[in-house]
């Protein structure tokens, strides 16, 4: 392809991402895909959806081909903890909606076949979320088929939209049982060493095993007896419950009981009973490389979000990531995006950055960004929280430039919706104030550094009741009472009706900001300069610069409930300002290097500065 043709293709792909007419989408599909592949991870606006909760286009797969009650099929659309019927066909038919929102990439919740139901009697729930995998090579029948997933990926690519898969290597579904107990407490390597059965005073086993730090096939071949901490076993009928079949070998799991999420148990304990893979074993590493390399080969996906990444030993990622990048490159995907989930509750990003330096993960979900927005816009902390956040960017492997690839978010399916936290922090606030705070959070998400990730439903004013199941509302008409009694933002409707319209103020705002972002290189790839922050709610101002022309974009946010007027430092050669989103920048500088900004309560402005010529 010539350079001029490539440029035309990239412009066309950008136009598609901004909602170009459908007729243009098939004019040169090869060029569209090539231009899409050429985009860097930070060029995207990501939309995250759990397929089961998005849209139900095929009711015939609601029960996953199973028969019986909900404890056998997993299907109960009235319960927040069971399958509701959403599927891949539903996600595919809503691609125009997702594109209209301005998204250029879709992060699809796990699609792998799951154990339909698990949990103690009376505490059962279903694998609708996709994190209880039994078959790592195929799509869960509740969601559709492998062919339908391929059709989804191809249809997204035809629109210039990337597809990121949510993957898991830390654990499988809860299939392995322990003879000693049900919810077993973690037993450490010191108290229950590999070479003794049931504790230091038990009989000798696994002679010659040199420990899990010696990661060779020859060493792990000596780990023949898995009963060092507990006595694990497979119930009759579960001997081949998992696929590929190597996953049914009990010796390939830690079998030490439930993690406390701290210290040694963080990487070796069962995640709330889920079978924890011994990722130190080279057999597990090779098997996972084969599995997930295969998804790249078969479907041409564009990236992986890695669940529970911090609960896997770093050496696994140090080998797995290069293998996936090489597999993607061989498939013609040069900018394959890999980002790990490292749950983190502080504005200080040090614990996140560690996983890019030690584990060599290319990126991690930016929980520190979310925390900064929670503490300032859904809280009362000063805007200096963002100084703490962004001063940590050089800590990431690759420095501040690498921080541009961190997916940022304010809401997600595990941690809850931003609107919920606003209402929790300000219970006396009216819906108008809540709406403005949510819009301010959106403006930060879609203009500051990182890769903005929008959680499905946020654009429709979903508010949730908390985290996890309480934040996983249906986009199609819901039958869950605890969802349908929520007071949404920007609409008088409830989740009892489908929400794929484009009239909600939050949809309109998100779409407008997304279009500004993808059309403005300073907002996708530009470096940041902190201009102003305060130790109380008030002004945050940041300049971002076009990486080619050095053109300046000024971002100004007011986290306080009162209007503010400030002079903000800008580059000395700036003369004019043009508002791209929000409002408040003066048309001309007050003096060289100083621009007046006037912001309403919870207001924001995105302004392009012009020179003297």
In this chain, the answer to whether the domains covering 29-174+281-517 and 525-611 adopt an identical fold is no
| Two structure tokens written together for 546 | 């076009």
Share of the chain above pLDDT 90, in %: 94
Mean pLDDT, residues 583-608: 98
Q: Calculate mean pLDDT across residues 483-491.
A: 98
Task: State which H helix or E strand residue 70 sits in.
Answer: helix 70-73
Please, which residues bridge with residue 452 across strands? 408
Contact indicator for 354, 396 with CB cutoff of 8 Å: no
- Per DSSP (E only), the strands in 157-211 are 162-167, 177-178
* Structure token pair of residue 199: 């504790």
Question: What mean pLDDT value characterizes the chain?
Answer: 95
**What pLDDT shows up at residue 19?**
42
> In a 10 Å sphere around its CB, with 0-12 CB exposed, 13-18 middle and 19+ buried, how is residue 217 labelled?
exposed
Count CA atoms within 13 Å of residue 74 on its CB side. 29
Mean pLDDT value across residues 35-50? 98
The answer to whether the CB of 581 falls within 8 A of the CB of 546 is: no
Looking at residues 486-501, what average pLDDT do you find?
98
What is the Cα–Cα distance from 317 to 306, expressed in whole angstroms? 10
Closest by Cα among 76, 155, 42, 43 to 108: 155
Q: d(Cα 213, Cα 204) in Å, to the nearest integer?
A: 20
| Residues 109/48, Cβ–Cβ less than 8 Å | yes
Q: Does domain 29-174+281-517 have CATH number 3.40.250.10?
A: no
- Give tens-digit pLDDT for 318-347: 999 999 999 999 999 999 999 999 999 999
Chain center to CA of 332: 24
Range 111-132 average pLDDT: 97
Q: So what's the pLDDT on residue 612? A: 63
- Within the chain, what is the greatest distance between any pair of CA atoms? 85
Condensed to tens digits (0 to 9), the pLDDT of residues 401-422 reads 999 999 999 999 999 999 999 9
Taking residues 480-498, report their average pLDDT: 98
Which pLDDT score is estimated for 28? Answer: 81
What would the mean pLDDT of 514-518 be, rounded to a whole number? 98
- Give 90-112 as a DSSP string: HHHHTHHHHHHTT-SEEEEPP-E
Tokens matching residue 369: 């960004």
Residue 22 — very low, low, confident or very high, per pLDDT cuts 50/70/90? Answer: very low
Residue 127's pLDDT is 98
**Cβ distance 45 to 103 under 8 Å?**
yes
Catalytic residues: 307, 341
Dist. CA 324–CA 292, nearest whole Å: 8
What does the pLDDT average to over 37-50? Answer: 98
pLDDT score of 29? 85
- Name the pTM for this structure: 0.95
Q: Which two tokens stand for residue 468?
A: 């996890």
417 touches 458 (CB < 8 A)? yes
Q: What is the pLDDT of residue 27?
A: 64
Dihedral of alpha carbons 87, 89, 95, 96, sign? negative
> Band of the pLDDT at 611, cuts 50, 70, 90?
confident
CATH of 525-611 given 1.20.140.10, 2.60.40.10, 2.60.40.1180, 1.10.274.100: 2.60.40.1180
What gap in Å lies between CA 535 and CA 147, rounded to an integer? 54
pLDDT in tens, 537-548: 999 999 999 999
Domain ranges of the chain: 29-174+281-517, 525-611
Q: pLDDT (tens digit, 9 = 90+) per residue, 252-308?
A: 999 999 999 999 999 999 999 999 999 999 999 999 999 999 999 999 999 999 999
Cis before 244? omega within 30: yes
Structure tokens at 255: 């079998």
**Choice among 1-5, 415-419, 453-457, 572-576 with the minimum mean pLDDT:** 1-5
pLDDT of residue 353: 98
């Amino acid at each position: 392809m010539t350079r001029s043709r490539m440029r035309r293709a990239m412009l066309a792909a950008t136009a598609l991402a901004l909602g170009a007419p459908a007729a243009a989408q098939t004019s040169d599909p090869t060029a569209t895909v090539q231009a899409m592949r050429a985009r860097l991870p930070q060029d995207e606006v990501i939309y995250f959806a759990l397929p089961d909760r998005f849209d139900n286009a095929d009711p015939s797969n609601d029960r996953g081909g199973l028969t019986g009650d909900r404890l056998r099929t997993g299907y109960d659309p009235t319960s927040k903890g069971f399958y509701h019927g959403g599927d891949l066909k539903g996600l595919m038919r809503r691609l125009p909606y997702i594109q209209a929102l301005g998204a250029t990439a879709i992060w699809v919740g796990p699609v792998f076949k799951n154990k339909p139901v698990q949990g103690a009697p009376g505490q059962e729930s279903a694998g609708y979320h996709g994190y209880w995998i039994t078959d790592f090579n195929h799509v869960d029948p509740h969601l559709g088929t492998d062919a339908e997933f391929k059709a989804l990926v191809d249809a997204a690519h035809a629109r210039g939209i990337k597809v990121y898969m949510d993957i898991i290597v830390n654990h499988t579904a809860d299939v392995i049982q322990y003879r000693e107990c049900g919810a077993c407490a973690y037993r450490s390597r010191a108290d229950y060493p590999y070479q003794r059965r049931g504790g230091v005073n038990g009989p000798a086993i696994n002679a010659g095993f040199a420990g899990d730090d010696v990661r060779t096939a020859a060493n792990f071949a000596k780990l023949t007896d898995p009963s060092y901490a507990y006595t694990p076993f497979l119930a009759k009928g579960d001997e081949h419950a998992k696929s590929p079949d190597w996953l049914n070998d009990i010796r390939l799991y830690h079998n030490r009981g439930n993690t406390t999420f701290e210290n040694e148990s963080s990487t070796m304990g069962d995640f709330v009973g889920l079978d924890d893979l011994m990722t130190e074993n080279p057999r597990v590493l090779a098997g996972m490389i084969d599995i997930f390399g295969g998804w790249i080969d078969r479907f041409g996906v564009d990236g992986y979000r890695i669940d529970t990444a911090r609960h896997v030993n770093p050496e696994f990622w140090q080998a797995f990531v290069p293998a996936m990048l090489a597999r993607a490159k061989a498939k013609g995907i040069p900018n394959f995006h890999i980002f790990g989930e490292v749950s983190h509750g502080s504005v200080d990003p040090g614990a996140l950055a560690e996983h890019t330096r030690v584990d060599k993960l290319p990126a991690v979900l930016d929980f520190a960004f979310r925390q900064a927005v929670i503490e300032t816009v859904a809280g009362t902390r000063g805007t200096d929280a963002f100084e703490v956040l962004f001063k940590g960017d050089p800590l990431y492997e690759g420095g501040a430039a690498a921080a541009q690839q961190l997916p940022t978010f304010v809401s997600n399916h595990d941690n809850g919706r931003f609107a919920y936290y606003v209402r929790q922090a300000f219970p006396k606030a009216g819906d108008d104030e809540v709406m403005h705070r949510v819009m301010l959070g959106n403006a930060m998400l879609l203009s500051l550094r990182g890769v903005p990730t929008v959680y499905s439903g946020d654009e429709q004013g979903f508010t949730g009741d908390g985290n996890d199941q309480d934040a996983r509302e249906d986009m199609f008409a819901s039958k869950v009472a605890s969802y349908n009694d929520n007071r949404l933002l920007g609409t008088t409707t409830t989740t009892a009706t489908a929400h794929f319209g484009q009239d909600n103020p939050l949809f309109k705002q998100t779409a407008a900001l997304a279009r500004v972002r993808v059309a403005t290189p300073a907002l996708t790839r530009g470096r940041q300069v902190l201009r102003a922050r305060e130790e109380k709610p008030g002004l945050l101002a940041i300049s971002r610069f076009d990486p080619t022309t050095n053109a300046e974009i000024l971002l100004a946010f007011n986290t306080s409930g009162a209007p503010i007027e400030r002079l903000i430092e800008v580059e000395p050669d700036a003369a004019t300002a043009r508002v791209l989103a929000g409002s408040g920048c003066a048309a001309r500088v007050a003096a060289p290097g100083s621009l007046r900004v006037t912001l309403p309560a919870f207001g924001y402005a995105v302004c392009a500065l012009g020179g003297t010529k």
